[in-house]
Amino acid sequence: MPVFAYRGLAANGRSVAGSIDADNARNARGKLRELGIFPTDLGEEAAEIRKRSLNDLMPTLGRRIPATELALLTRQLGTLLGAGVQLTEALAVLGDQAARPAVKKIFSQVREAVREGSSLADALAGHPEIFSDLYVGMVRAGETAGALEAVLDRLAEFSERQAEFVAKVRGALTYPLIMMCLAAGIMGFLVVYVVPQISTIFEQQHAALPTMTRLLIAVSNFLINYWIELVLLVVAIIAGIVAGLSSARGRRLYDKWLLRVPYIGPTVVRIICARFARTLATLLISGVQLLPALTAVRRVVTNGLLADAVDESRESIREGHGMGQTLARAGVFPPLLIEMIKVGERSGELERMLERVADNYEGEVETSLRQMTTIIEPVMTIMMGAVILFMMLAVLLPIMQLNQLVQ
């Protein structure tokens, strides 16, 4: 729906300005008059016009909000509601103060939906690319329980912790990836540009080259002569992997393989368990019932084997069985999580047990990633040193032979 920027006069004679959603300019003027605003200037926002053609091709382009920004907006909304501000006015404040046009438009549309009689959860559900089922479910639970402000604060805290956790994971993996790309770039430059020039000198001398030098020159010639074929091969391999992962069978094989990889598999399980426990605990504390909570939390379980175990536990709970018992039968969740869930079910403190196990796994993941980075750094340094030593010897040995012949 287009967004119109307006200037006008309120009922008390004060000048006002803002934005409003409407199908066209006529409907926009009608909505403003219903609000007691007499528009003196009305026009579709320029940013909206510029993005119209791109948004038709890519509907979600520019509409995603970073997790940290969404957490801040959620906390601000909770603060405004806690201060006694009406929901529509609070949404208007968030929309007006937003610097990004996408954020302004989203909150304007949510405000209009609420003003027309929708609940906040239903209005947010109209933007699934921004507000997940988890987010909408918690807001709906807060509205039902009459504790929307508290739920928004809890949701903001949850989003901040999740964003911090993801940032730690990415930060731990950034350095090794940069080192790998840098090493590949340097080696490619040496093999493709430097080695051919040196090999020309050797060929002019008609000298017998060492095996290492001949191997290096052969690799260099192969990369130069067949780089197009190699690029096409890499593209074909990547396309094959993507196509395989897009199928149910291929994804299932990948999920099984990933869990069996030493060190990486257990780390992936800890990451998923941490997100599962933290998300489920937050939903339960916010007043969401266990079955709807498991339906929402299933989306954060990215491994198919673990997701199937969550689905089975939901069906088992519907039949009257315990969640811990069902997860234990799946054989993919670690014993600590199973035992903590069983203790929480018996004691009636499932939320607190889940929060404890989430804290534990988040700490273990941070430690594992730190250890992984500590191991990868020297290993990559040794590998780069070995490759550089090989190339130096491959270049220096024939040079030393030439010097001996000259003498």
pLDDT at 236: 94
Which domain-ending residue is among 159, 182, 198?
A: 159
* Residues 41 and 86 occupy one common structural domain: no
pLDDT at 232: 94
Query: Residue 364 domain-assigned?
Result: no
* Residues 36 and 94 occupy one common structural domain: no
pLDDT band at residue 207, thresholds of 50, 70 and 90? low
* Residues 71 and 18 occupy one common structural domain: no
pLDDT at 252: 85
Query: Residue 319 domain-assigned?
Result: no
**pLDDT above 70 as % of the chain:** 89
pLDDT band at residue 49, thresholds of 50, 70 and 90? very low
Query: Residue 154 domain-assigned?
Result: yes
- Average confidence (pLDDT) over 125-144: 79
* Residues 74 and 152 occupy one common structural domain: yes
Q: In the predicted model, is pLDDT for residue 300 greater than 70?
A: yes
pLDDT in tens, 79-126: 888 888 888 888 888 887 777 777 888 888 888 888 888 888 888 888
- Average confidence (pLDDT) over 271-288: 82
Q: Chain-wide mean pLDDT for the chain?
A: 79
pLDDT at 53: 40
* Residues 31 and 84 occupy one common structural domain: no
* Residues 74 and 36 occupy one common structural domain: no
CATH number of the domain bearing residue 74: 1.20.81.30
Q: In the predicted model, is pLDDT for residue 200 greater than 90?
A: no
pLDDT band at residue 235, thresholds of 50, 70 and 90? very high
Query: Residue 135 domain-assigned?
Result: yes
Query: Residue 258 domain-assigned?
Result: no
pLDDT band at residue 301, thresholds of 50, 70 and 90? confident
pLDDT in tens, 249-263: 888 888 888 888 888
pLDDT at 239: 92
- Ranked by mean pLDDT, the top range of 16-25, 75-84, 157-166 is 75-84
pLDDT band at residue 150, thresholds of 50, 70 and 90? confident
255 vs 265: CA distance, rounded Å = 10
Which one is predicted more confidently, 383 or 51? 383
* Residues 44 and 107 occupy one common structural domain: no
pLDDT at 237: 93
Query: Residue 45 domain-assigned?
Result: yes
Most distant CA atoms of the chain, gap in Å = 102
pLDDT at 54: 39
pLDDT in tens, 328-385: 887 888 888 888 888 888 888 888 898 898 889 888 888 887 787 777 778 877 887 8
- Mapped to the 3 state alphabet, what secondary structure does the chain carry? CCEEEEEEECCCCCEEEEEEECCCHHHHHHHHHHCCCEEEEEEECHHHHHHHHHHHHCCCCCCCCCHHHHHHHHHHHHHHHHCCCCHHHHHHHHHHHCCCHHHHHHHHHHHHHHHCCCCHHHHHHCCCCCCCHHHHHHHHHHHHHCCHHHHHHHHHHHHHHHHHHHHHHHHHHHHHHHHHHHHHHHHHHHHHHHHHHHHHHHHHHCCCCCHHHHHHHHHHHHHHHCHHHHHHHHHHHHHHHHHHHHCHHHHHHHHHHHHHCCCHHHHHHHHHHHHHHHHHHHHHHCCCCHHHHHHHHHHHCCCHHHHHHHHHHHHHHHCCCCHHHHHHHHCCCCHHHHHHHHHHHHHCCHHHHHHHHHHHHHHHHHHHHHHHHHHHHHHHHHHHHHHHHHHHHHHHHHHHHHHHHHC
Looking at 50-59, 180-189, 253-262, 339-348, which range is the least confident one? 50-59
How far is CA 277 from each of CA 295, 310, 315, 322, rounded to the nearest angstrom? 14, 12, 18, 16
Query: Residue 220 domain-assigned?
Result: no
pTM beyond 0.85, yes or no: no
How many domains is the chain built from? 2
pLDDT band at residue 21, thresholds of 50, 70 and 90? low
Which domain-ending residue is among 159, 181, 215?
A: 159
* Residues 82 and 146 occupy one common structural domain: yes
pLDDT at 206: 67
Domain boundaries, position 49: 3-57
Q: In the predicted model, is pLDDT for residue 213 greater than 90?
A: no
Query: Residue 302 domain-assigned?
Result: no
Which domain-ending residue is among 120, 137, 159?
A: 159
